[in-house]
Structure 1
Amino acid sequence: MSKSSTIDPWVVRFAKFIIRFGAVKASIFFVILTLIFTFIGTYFLRVLLDGSVKADDFIGATLLSLLSAPWVLWFFSELVKQLEQSRVSLKEAVTQLERLRDSDELLNRTLQNNIKQLNHEIEQRKNAQLEREDMFTDLEREIEDKSEKEKQAIRLSTLLRSIIDASPDLIYYRNPEGQFAGCNKIAEQMTGKTEQELIGLTPHQVFEEELANQVVTSDQYVLEKNETVKEEVWLRFADGKRRYFEMCRVPFYNADNTLLGLLAFGRDITERKQAEEAIAKASKDKTKFIATISHELRTPLNGIVGLSRMLRDTKLTNEQFSWVSTIYASGITLGNIFNDIIDLDRLDRDRLELSLKTVSLRDFSSELGSIIDLIAKDKGLAFDVTVVDPLPALVEVDGTRLRQILWNLLFNAVKFTHKGKVSLDVSAESIDKQNSMVIFKVCDTGVGIPEDDLKKIFAMYYQVNLPEHQSATGTGIGLAICQQMVSLMHGDISVSSVKGKGTCFTVKLPLAISQKPVQVSELKVTGLQILLVEDIELNVMVAKALLEKLGQHVDVAMTGKEAVAKARDKQYDLILLDIQLPDMTGFDVANIMHEESLVEQTSIVALTANVIKTREEYLNNGMDDVIAKPVKKSRIIEVFNNLFCDEPHEPHKPVDEPSNGQFEDILDLDLLQMFVDTIGHEMVRNSVKVFQDNMPEYMEILQLSLSADEKEEVCSQAHKIKGAAGSVGLARVQKLANEIQQGDHPAWWENVHDWVEQLQQAAEKDIQKLVDWLGQQDVDD
């Protein structure tokens, strides 16, 4: 190709020239050129050879040229034509070869691509083969692992089944349709059926109807709300024995979050329940015992304090006055020691509470000091009360509790001091405009407390070992109760002492500065017609003498029946009602008087030595107030002024005017009337009967949960009682249950025991009130 490319230009031009002019013209032209060339060649040749030129030389050369040139030219012309044709053919062949070369190149590229694709596929197949080999290896390993896991699962399943069957707890599970799907041995013992017999049955086919309904309701709640349910139920075993179980039901799902049913676990807590009931009974017995002792001890104590106080107001010699003062102080001392015992019981039941009132610190300190001064003088000790200014004139404080705290400290100071003095210092530090930190310091010059005992001095029942002063030992509960009370008041109590030189107790209490006027110490009402209901002659004598001295008119009834009879015959302004009477309780007397509308314009005040109950309990049982024995003149003045001076009383309603007053705040009369008008008396009465039948069980569960400190269960049960009470119009029961269910109340634990007791009492009384109201509606109809 390279050589052809070198000669191609002139050959091509020559061939094109011959073709353009034609063979004849080209032949003539080349003949002429040949002749010219011959002439010139001959001429120069002859010149070179001979040195002369002849015409014959030209003629011969010309003839020779003319004879040979045409043939030569024709030959070359034909040759050129053939060459041109060969060139064209060659060109076409080259073109064809170029096409074939391009085709070959394309085919070659295609072939190379195919080879590459084939190599790639071969590589992929090799990789796929390797992957298949790896997959088979993994599959073999997975099969081995799965086989091992299945074996392990079988072992675990067997172990789990053994554990479930060996468990003392009741275990069963049911599918979403409510049918049993499995159980353990305890469930078989309880139902009297094997697991295979139990599978596919519903609770209605296994349990008693009432229990089955309860189980189905709880299970439905678990499945719908996706929540765990806990409850306590009595279950009857196949052998007839009843056991108390704590049941827990939970929903369970598979890995795809598909509900499979529910699991039920039950723990036999019969012994625990019996123990709790025994503890509750023991607590009630202890409380009842203390209440009885309270009444029995305070009855003679009331006479001692009352008569000695009255005797001090008569004309006596100095020596007689000293003796009477000692009796009076001793009686008060005994009363305060007994208060410690009462407060100890309240602390055990978390029922110690505060009742804030407006108190003058100066008058309070002076009153307390006058009593301690009598005891101190009896031992030949000096006693000083120092009030450091500035001091708030009036503060809000529970005077009874504060008096008890300081009494314990002062009495101990006198008891452990044989010479020297005892002092009470009262001062204050300002906190802000509304509050002040009041500081009480009780110091003595007594035997002191060893340093090792200072940290233990406030422990319950702890007593300092003082061999040389055995006569001065006490119960060991006073200081512990003081610390509890100070803590209840959000204050602080501390002690410092030097053995043989004396002791100083410091009480710091943050108290609100009061803008209210202090309670009037003078009786503002006289000439009241009072019925005193009391069965102890000594108490009658003391109380009657005190009341008449205060300008009141007093009638006396020694029994409940006599009190009711007198109330029927005469309208009284006030009834002072002892709670423990020989024939009935004061609560029963008050209830009869309310039912007969004998006290619509008459106040009833409980006069009792039982300080176990709270003031609220007396108010909930129809009393307007309560006065604790021994009766104090200051307390009588306070109660009388509150009842007859501070708040006007409603006018007495005519006897023949129909009134629902005895049902107010107890029943939701509007709701009940709507029920009666809508569904009729009989249906309402049936609803009340159902509530009355179920309420004992509700209360039993509530009290058991409270005894177990299960706050959530207490609130849940109270919520149930609230709903049930609301459905039959028991407004007061509903209100008390609502208080119990408010578990987020900051003082819930401090008050819940009281609320539960109030709920128990209200339920018993209010159901009867509801029955009475329904009876009245029947009569009216």
Structure 2
Amino acid sequence: MQRQESVEPWALRFAQFINRFGTLRVSVLFVFLTLIFTMTGTYFLRIYIIGDVKLEDFMSAIILTIVSAPWVLFFFSELVKQLERSRGHLAEVITQLERLREEDILLSRELQNNIKQLNYEIEQRKNAQAERENVFVELENEIKDRAEKEAQALRLSTLLRSIIDASPDLIYYRNEEGQFAGCNRVAEQMTGRTEAELIGLTPHEVWEEELASQVAASDHEVLEKNASITEEIWLRFADGRRGYFEMRKVPFYAKDGSRLGLLAFGRDITERKQAENIVAKASKDKTKFIATISHELRTPLNGIVGLSRMLRDTKLDKEQFNWVSTIYASGITLGNIFNDIIDIDRMGRDKLELSLKTVSIKDFTEELSSIIKLLAADKNLAFDTEIREPLPDFVEVDGTRLRQILWNLLFNAVKFTQKGKVSLSVEARTSGDGISHVTFRVGDTGVGIPQTELDKIFAMYYQVNLPEHQSATGTGIGLAICQQMVSLMNGEIKVSSEIGKGTCFTVELPLPISKRPMQVEELQVRGLNILLVEDIELNVMVAKALLEKLDQHVDVAMTGGEAIKMVRDKQYDLILLDIQLPDMTGFDVATTLHDEGLVEQTSIVALTANVIKRRQEYLDSGMDDVIAKPVKKSRMIEVFNSLFSEQPYDAHKPKEEEPDRELDAILDLDLLQMLVDTIGHEMVSTSVKVFEENMPVYLEILQLSLSANEKDEVCSQAHKIKGAAGSVGLARVQKVANQIQQGDHPAWWENVHDWVEELTFAAVQDMQKLSDWLTKQDIDD
């Protein structure tokens, strides 16, 4: 193949040359070239051999060439033809070989590619096998890990389930449709059903309708607001027992954030509730005890103070006057001790409050000094009063509380001073903001207080250890109350003392300067027809004497029933009503008189020794004001002037317009108009506001008591609502509350839930009507 390739080029070129110029032309050219070659060869050969050339030498060469040339030409022609055929065949062979070579190359390449692909596939299969083996290993590890995790999850699930079941708390969860989806053992015990039995049920299929509605309502609130809530509710166990539960309800979610339902956790706080009830009852009992003791002690004290005060106004010699003055001062001292005891109870119930009035500091100081002088004189002590001008004419202050503060300090000064003097000074510094900073100083020359004790004397029940003056020890509550009251007035109380030389207490109070004139202490109204309702002869004698001395006409009733009968028979301008009567309470008397419409033109003033209650509580119970025992002449004049002097009630004054029937069925318009005319629009609005603030609490307690099936508490709360509603003219609320309080009604349990629902509705709707009516009255005024 290589040799053929070496010959092939000149033969192919020669054959191509012949084919290009033609066989004949090439043959003639070949003959011509042969003749030339022969003749030239002959010439040189003859010259070389013989050395001479003849013509015949050329002729023989020419003839020989002519004779041989055709054969040579034929030979060459055949040779060319053979060569051409060979070339064609060779070309075909070469072409075929080239094709075969190309195919071989392609096959070789394809084979190489296949080999590469095969090698790659083999490698891939090796890798895949390795990966498969790794996957199997990983799968085995994963299966092992999953098995371990499942075992751990099972253990944790079992542990969690054990914890949930062992928990003393109630636990359940519900889905979005409100159906139980699971619970713990406490829930099973409560409902009397297993978890499997509970799953798929709604609260209405588990509990009675009322309880189920409460549970479903709070659950709905959690899902609607998508927020957790805490509530307290009475739940009933399957065995009939009831438990008071503090429920915490929260929404819970899946990993993808979708909400699954709600979880509820309930802690049985029945014992705590019972403890709270016991504490509340103990507090009520304590308050009742203090009120009873206060009433029982103030009743004779009322006679002592009243009669001694009246006796001082008679003709007495100096010695008799001093004796009576001592009795009078001692009575006032006892009264202030009672006030301290009562204020302790009020502080414990956060009911200590201030009642600001216009007071002249100068007159106030002189009045207080006149009483202290009697106590000081009884111990042969001097008493100095210093009023440092300038003082503001009038300030706004709770005179009763201020008197109680200074009384405690002055009484202690007299008590702990054996010789020397006691002093009271007052001065004031007025700032530009309308506030007068008034400073009272109470000093004495008594035993003094050790420096180590000064920071303790304001603690409740704390007493300074004074062995040489054991007779001068006290209860240890006066200074504690003083500090509380001074703090309530935004003031400051300080003390400085030196053993054997005396003590000085300083009280600094920021008091607003009053722009209103002080209420005139002189009685502005006389000749009133007054009904005094009092069951104790001594109190009747004192109060009747005082009223008649004030030029009033007095009738007396000793029982509530007698008072009601007398009011039915006669019109009175004022009823002074004791709260504790032998047959009923003063509140019951007032309620009856209001219900029968007997006091539309009559003011009712509570006359009571029970100062535990706040003034607003008496107003809410149908009273127009309250006077505490022992009765003070100044307080009596103050109440009379406030009720009658400014706008005396005209019984013949015609009504301006006839109320519409719908409003008349909701509100007691006559009572409301009377209240506006007598105590003023502002006071009525204040009373209504207090009722509006307290009513939600009343209703909540009522609902809770009803849920707990506490019939007595439901009736009691309804009675409270009835009295409060009646005092602000909410006739329909009062009527519904009266139905609820009638616990002896034969169908009470069948109707009480409807009544409570009606009461809740009326409280909201009627309060709006009342507010609109008061607004209209204010605009008309």
Give the TM bin, normalised by the shorter chain: 0.7 to 0.9
Rounded Cα–Cα distance in structure 2 between residues aligned with 1:661 and 1:348: 42
Deviation digits for residues 363-408 of structure 1, max 9, x if unmatched?
444444444444345441443444575x665544433223323332
Q: Counterpart of 2:352?
A: 352
| Structure 1 range deviating more: 81-90 or 446-455 | 81-90
Q: Counterpart of 2:667?
A: 664
Q: 1:338 Cα deviation (Å)?
A: 0.9
Q: 1:153 Cα deviation (Å)?
A: 5.8
Q: Counterpart of 1:327?
A: 327
The equivalent position to 1:213 in structure 2, one of 194, 209, 214, is 209
Rounded Cα–Cα distance in structure 2 between residues aligned with 1:330 and 1:662: 54
Summarize the Cα distance change of 1:484–1:700 in structure 2 as closer, same or farther, 3 Å threshold: farther
Q: 1:205 Cα deviation (Å)?
A: 12
Note if contact 1:223-1:262 (Cα within 8 Å) is conserved in structure 2: no
Summarize the Cα distance change of 1:465–1:652 in structure 2 as closer, same or farther, 3 Å threshold: farther
Rounded Cα–Cα distance in structure 2 between residues aligned with 1:514 and 1:117: 110
User: Equivalences for 1:304-323 in 2 at 5 Å?
Assistant: 304-323=304-323
Q: 1:263 Cα deviation (Å)?
A: 6.3
Q: 1:588 Cα deviation (Å)?
A: 2.4
What TM-score results when the alignment is normalised by the length of structure 1?
Answer: 0.73
Q: What code does the residue aligned with 1:642 have?
A: S
1:246 aligns with 2:242: no
What TM-score results when the alignment is normalised by the length of structure 2?
Answer: 0.73
Q: Counterpart of 1:184?
A: 185
Q: What code does the residue aligned with 2:208 have?
A: A
Q: 1:612 Cα deviation (Å)?
A: 1.0
Rounded Cα–Cα distance in structure 2 between residues aligned with 1:522 and 1:4: 161
Note if contact 2:169-2:265 (Cα within 8 Å) is conserved in structure 1: no
Q: 1:154 Cα deviation (Å)?
A: 5.9
User: Equivalences for 1:59-208 in 2 at 5 Å?
Assistant: 59-87=59-87, 90=90, 96=96, 99-100=99-100, 102-148=102-148, 184=185, 195=194
Q: What code does the residue aligned with 1:406 have?
A: L
Deviation digits for residues 611-649 of structure 1, max 9, x if unmatched?
011111111221111111122233223222221234564
The equivalent position to 1:730 in structure 2, one of 705, 729, 733, is 733
User: Equivalences for 1:478-517 in 2 at 5 Å?
Assistant: 478-517=478-517
Q: Counterpart of 1:528?
A: 528
Q: Counterpart of 2:413?
A: 413
Note if contact 1:665-1:731 (Cα within 8 Å) is conserved in structure 2: no
| Structure 1 range deviating more: 28-37 or 138-147 | 138-147
| Structure 1 range deviating more: 469-478 or 77-86 | 77-86
Q: 1:235 Cα deviation (Å)?
A: 4.0
Q: 1:229 Cα deviation (Å)?
A: 6.8
| Structure 1 range deviating more: 193-202 or 316-325 | 193-202
Summarize the Cα distance change of 1:387–1:6 in structure 2 as closer, same or farther, 3 Å threshold: farther
Rounded Cα–Cα distance in structure 1 between residues aligned with 2:393 and 2:125: 104
Q: Counterpart of 1:476?
A: 476
Note if contact 2:528-2:553 (Cα within 8 Å) is conserved in structure 1: yes
Note if contact 1:171-1:187 (Cα within 8 Å) is conserved in structure 2: no
Note if contact 2:346-2:612 (Cα within 8 Å) is conserved in structure 1: yes
Note if contact 2:533-2:560 (Cα within 8 Å) is conserved in structure 1: yes
Rounded Cα–Cα distance in structure 1 between residues aligned with 2:377 and 2:618: 40
Rounded Cα–Cα distance in structure 2 between residues aligned with 1:131 and 1:25: 81
Note if contact 2:444-2:503 (Cα within 8 Å) is conserved in structure 1: yes
Q: 1:549 Cα deviation (Å)?
A: 3.4
Summarize the Cα distance change of 1:155–1:28 in structure 2 as closer, same or farther, 3 Å threshold: closer
Q: Counterpart of 1:711?
A: none
Q: What code does the residue aligned with 1:641 have?
A: N
Rounded Cα–Cα distance in structure 1 between residues aligned with 2:214 and 2:588: 41
**Partner SS, residue 605 of structure 1:** strand
Q: 1:223 Cα deviation (Å)?
A: 5.2
Note if contact 2:665-2:731 (Cα within 8 Å) is conserved in structure 1: no
Deviation digits for residues 723-747 of structure 1, max 9, x if unmatched?
xxxx99527999xxxxxxxxxxxxx
Summarize the Cα distance change of 1:578–1:728 in structure 2 as closer, same or farther, 3 Å threshold: closer
**Partner SS, residue 285 of structure 1:** helix
Summarize the Cα distance change of 1:319–1:110 in structure 2 as closer, same or farther, 3 Å threshold: farther
Rounded Cα–Cα distance in structure 2 between residues aligned with 1:314 and 1:95: 166
Q: Counterpart of 2:268?
A: 267
Rounded Cα–Cα distance in structure 1 between residues aligned with 2:389 and 2:106: 121
| Structure 1 range deviating more: 278-287 or 91-100 | 91-100
**Partner SS, residue 208 of structure 2:** helix
Q: Counterpart of 1:284?
A: 284
Rounded Cα–Cα distance in structure 2 between residues aligned with 1:132 and 1:112: 29
Q: Counterpart of 2:423?
A: 422
Q: What code does the residue aligned with 1:664 have?
A: L
Summarize the Cα distance change of 1:480–1:646 in structure 2 as closer, same or farther, 3 Å threshold: same
Summarize the Cα distance change of 1:479–1:21 in structure 2 as closer, same or farther, 3 Å threshold: same
**Partner SS, residue 532 of structure 1:** strand
Q: 1:124 Cα deviation (Å)?
A: 4.1
Note if contact 1:666-1:731 (Cα within 8 Å) is conserved in structure 2: no
Summarize the Cα distance change of 1:47–1:283 in structure 2 as closer, same or farther, 3 Å threshold: same
1:519 aligns with 2:545: no
Q: What RMSD over aligned residues (CA atoms) do the two structures have, in Å?
A: 4.9
User: Equivalences for 1:421-440 in 2 at 5 Å?
Assistant: 421-428=422-429, 430=431, 433=433, 439-440=439-440
Q: Counterpart of 1:383?
A: 384
Q: Counterpart of 1:454?
A: 454
Q: Counterpart of 2:595?
A: 595
Deviation digits for residues 7-29 of structure 1, max 9, x if unmatched?
98877665443212211112212
| Structure 1 range deviating more: 632-641 or 115-124 | 115-124
Note if contact 2:234-2:707 (Cα within 8 Å) is conserved in structure 1: no
Mark the runs of 5 or more structure 1 residues left unpaired by the alignment: 670-691, 708-713, 735-759, 771-781
Summarize the Cα distance change of 1:571–1:301 in structure 2 as closer, same or farther, 3 Å threshold: same
Summarize the Cα distance change of 1:68–1:324 in structure 2 as closer, same or farther, 3 Å threshold: farther
Rounded Cα–Cα distance in structure 2 between residues aligned with 1:214 and 1:229: 19
Q: 1:267 Cα deviation (Å)?
A: 3.0
| Structure 1 range deviating more: 525-534 or 331-340 | 525-534
Q: What code does the residue aligned with 2:641 have?
A: N
**Partner SS, residue 455 of structure 2:** helix
Summarize the Cα distance change of 1:201–1:322 in structure 2 as closer, same or farther, 3 Å threshold: same
| Structure 1 range deviating more: 480-489 or 295-304 | 480-489
**Partner SS, residue 351 of structure 2:** coil
Q: 1:172 Cα deviation (Å)?
A: 7.5
Q: 1:290 Cα deviation (Å)?
A: 1.2
Deviation digits for residues 230-282 of structure 1, max 9, x if unmatched?
544364664xx74544364858879576858976756373x545444433333
Rounded Cα–Cα distance in structure 2 between residues aligned with 1:203 and 1:30: 127
Q: 1:147 Cα deviation (Å)?
A: 4.8
| Structure 1 range deviating more: 395-404 or 310-319 | 310-319
Q: What code does the residue aligned with 1:383 have?
A: D
| Structure 1 range deviating more: 605-614 or 145-154 | 145-154
Q: 1:417 Cα deviation (Å)?
A: 3.6
Q: What code does the residue aligned with 2:288 have?
A: K
Note if contact 1:358-1:396 (Cα within 8 Å) is conserved in structure 2: yes
Rounded Cα–Cα distance in structure 2 between residues aligned with 1:646 and 1:53: 189
**Partner SS, residue 456 of structure 1:** coil
Q: Counterpart of 1:747?
A: none
| Structure 1 range deviating more: 345-354 or 645-654 | 645-654
Rounded Cα–Cα distance in structure 2 between residues aligned with 1:473 and 1:84: 159
Note if contact 2:429-2:437 (Cα within 8 Å) is conserved in structure 1: yes
